[in-house]
Amino acid sequence: MSKKLMASDRLEIMFARNDEYLWSKTVPAIDPNFNSRQIQKWKSRQTALFLLTQLFEKYQLDKNLLNNIQKMPNGRPFVEHSHVDFNISHSGDWVAVIFCYSKTKKTVAIDIEHPQKQRRFKALLDYYADEQEKSELLSDPTKLEHNFYLSWCLREAVLKSQGEGIAKLNSVKHFPSSKTIYCNYCPKGTLHFFKQYSFYLCYFFEANSTITVSQHHNGKLQKIDPISPLIYHVNKEIL
């Protein structure tokens, strides 16, 4: 990476349908014994690897690192590089990755949710949200799905920043009116949430940088501009 490119943090998000891996230069053979669920998971994994490869090529990083993606004890993936962090999410036919290249490693996390069935939104909110949050999210029944996925995705994203799972959903304190989030399992940072496609996308970043959001479609990278996310402060200091 040149000194020019390292003048500031670089933060990118790429998303694609899970058949985009077919544009890869090398596509491994799939196990013929896989069932439909295993095939879907395999396609998502290959597409995520394909997107990460595009990012490593762009920033002139050693692609061999992607042949040795490791996992922390809690399952969070990483590569042995002091300037790189990334995170992966998939839902239905969609895959998303977030990538940060910085002078000192900065944490990122992402969650994508492609609704494919009706969920018991209120019952789930009753399980993990406090009364104040629920009163705001349930005030407009016409926005119930949107507000539920806002509440769910932001929790997934901040918890994934440290590799924590949904068992700690109720440890995240969400204040919709002030657009603030507090959580002991996440560093201080910023979170964005939006829906401009058939899915909801939420991502957390510790870096202080402009984000580039792109879709990989039919072998071509298309920048998404403009995007209009909800913007949250995570673990903002209380004055």
* pLDDT, tens digit, 9 for 90 and up, residues 70-106: 999 999 999 999 999 999 999 999 999 999 999 999 9
Residue range 196-208: average pLDDT?
94
Each domain of the chain, given as residue ranges in start order, spans 5-234
pLDDT at 4 over 80: no
Residue range 30-36: average pLDDT?
94
Residue range 18-24: average pLDDT?
93
Rounded Cα distance, 5 and 61, in Å = 12
pLDDT at 239 over 60: no
Q: What percent of the chain has pLDDT over 90?
A: 85
Residue 196 confidence (pLDDT) = 87
pLDDT tens per residue, range 214-224: 999 999 999 99
Helix and strand numbers, DSSP H then E, in the chain = 4, 13
**What is the band of 237 on the pLDDT scale with cuts at 50, 70, 90?**
confident
Assess whether the previous peptide bond of 187 is cis (omega < 30° from 0).
no
188 to 107, 181, 191, 220: CA distances (angstroms)? 10, 10, 10, 34
Rounded Cα distance, 41 and 18, in Å = 9
pLDDT at 2 over 50: no
